[in-house]
Amino acid sequence: MSATKNILILGGTGYAGSALAREAVLRGHSVTAVSRSAPAAPVDGVQYVSADALADDIDLGAAQVVIGALSPRAENAGTLLKSYRRLMDKTRAAGARLVLVGGFSCLRREAGAPRMIEGESFPPEVPEAVVVEAKENMDVLNALLADVSDLDWLFVSPAMEFSAWMPGEDLGRHRVGGDVALFDENGRSAISGPDYARAVLDEIETPAHRRAQIGVAY
């Protein structure tokens, strides 16, 4: 069993954040979740802190791992890169590991191809807010890729079907790839919240990738 870690989750009451908090507690880690809103279904064992993680200067405390699961929506659109740059600096100074929940559109269709957000047009039925969020996630990934410090970071892109609107089924399995999107034999790219969280916690407990983007899907 891996050593217990102090884990701080920014956006810890959202879809991804709450799944990560639940899995981390199940594995015996000490978890603090920061969010503007109170959790609809609090996870036993998680310490909740009320703060605007996109706007406030968050105290990392004794965190050994900092997870960013923020969404730049509504009035917070356009703030993700600035907030994560600040978080990068604070995490580096603390000697902690930074793990960010990325976006599917930051992956490539095939090796050497442009990332989807850079090389494809979104269909008209995709809400503008989703497009804006995807572009902000790509800005964050570019900042990480350009970082020349010793920051220990990981950018974890979920499958295309991954959200509170497409929660999927807890299958108890997952695949991990690089920056090329994973699809199943039927051409589907999906992952549930619990299985995504397991992939992330596996990486936190036994790091196999550093300073890299990975993708998670079935």
- CATH superfamily entry for domain 6-217: NAD(P)-binding Rossmann-like Domain (3.40.50.720)
pTM above 0.85, yes or no: yes
Q: What gap in Å lies between CA 2 and CA 65, rounded to an integer?
A: 14
Phi and psi, residue 10, nearest 5°: -90, 125
Contacts of 76 (CB under 8 A, 6+ apart): 54, 55
Q: What gap in Å lies between CA 91 and CA 179, rounded to an integer?
A: 24
Q: Which two tokens stand for residue 5?
A: 């870690």
Give the residue carrying structure tokens 């994973």: 182
Per-residue pLDDT tens over the stretch 82-132: 999 999 999 999 999 999 999 999 999 999 999 999 876 666 667 777 788
Per-residue pLDDT tens over the stretch 63-82: 999 999 998 776 677 889 99
Q: What gap in Å lies between CA 105 and CA 127, rounded to an integer?
A: 14
Locate the domains of the chain by residue range: 6-217
Per-residue pLDDT tens over the stretch 163-199: 888 888 999 999 999 999 999 999 999 999 999 999 9
